[in-house]
Amino acid sequence: MSDSLEVVARTTTGTRDARRLRRQGLVPAVLYGHGEQCVDLAARRDALEAVVRHGSRIVELKGAVKTSALVRDLQWDTFGVEPLHVDFLRVDKTERIKVRVPLDLKGESPGHRAGGTLNLVLHEIEIECTPDTIPEKIHVPVGTLEIGGHIKVHDIELPKGAKAITHGDETAVTCTVTAHKPETTAAAGAAEPEIIGRKAADEGEAASEG
């Protein structure tokens, strides 16, 4: 189920206008796609943030326009706290579209328990599916991954009806041997103060004897 989002039309554009909108609690937006004219819009920041929290990729725009749209690109401020701009792509729920979806590791790897290091090589993959079946994340079970093992894209189970666009032979996850740093330097460093301390003590004793 997609969220609905109220939008208003923008009659002016540009940096100054965008700043003014943000001061009013609005986020500048643009709607495009399907060969139709681009429309400049704005949405309330709190409503947009609620859509993001719900993990919705498809929204039902209402107000200035009425259409289903994909949240194509969402720009954030430097700290990743405040949304600055959002791109909406018109979609038909029956069409197939290409989207990038993050990977999420599930379970505990035997290789990791044995001291290996899990490496998420691909943080996301591109898939093709219908707008109403876009997953928030794609889960990658690692319960059988041993040290020296790997999981490739073609090993990942996708949602029903989805097709991987990222090449199937690309490695998504590995479990490698954990490199241990030699302790020689640390041991030598720990020994040095003891030598200095003994020397200082010896000198102190010699001075008292003199």
203 lies in which domain range?
Answer: 184-210
CA distance 194 to 196: 5
Domain boundary among 41, 70, 90: 90
Whether the pTM exceeds 0.85: the reply is no
The domain spanning residue 61 has which CATH number? Answer: 2.40.240.10
CB half-sphere exposure, 141, CA atoms < 13 A: 5
pLDDT digits (tens, 9 = 90+) for 75-118: 999 998 999 999 999 998 888 999 999 999 999 999 999 999 99
Q: Which of 90, 109, 124 is the last residue of a domain?
A: 90
pLDDT at 204: 52
Q: Which residue has the tokens 């059988």?
A: 144
We report the CATH number of the domain holding residue 111 as 2.170.120.20
d(C-alpha 118, C-alpha 121), whole Å: 9
Same domain, 111 and 67: no
The residue assigned the tokens 């200095």 is: 196
| Pair 155, 78 in one domain | no
pLDDT tens digits along 44-81: 999 999 998 888 888 999 999 999 999 999 999 999 89
Residues 29 and 76 in one domain: yes
Per-residue pLDDT at 200: 47
Q: How many folded domains does the chain comprise? A: 3
Question: In terms of domains, do 10 and 82 share one?
Answer: yes
Q: State the SS3 of the chain.
A: CCEEEEEEECCCCCHHHHHHHHHCCEEEEEEEECCEEEEEEEEEHHHHHHHHHCCCCEEEEEECCCEEEEEEEEEECCCCCCEEEEEEEECCCCCCEEEEEEEEEECCCHHHHCCCEEEECCCEEEEEECHHHCCCCEEEECCCCCCCCEEEHHHCCCCCCCEECCCCCCEEEEEECCCCCCCHHHHHHHHHHHHHHHHHHHHHHHHHHC
What is the rounded distance in angstroms from the CA atom of residue 10 to the CA atom of residue 21? 10
For residue range 13-36, list pLDDT tens digits in order: 899 999 999 999 999 999 999 889
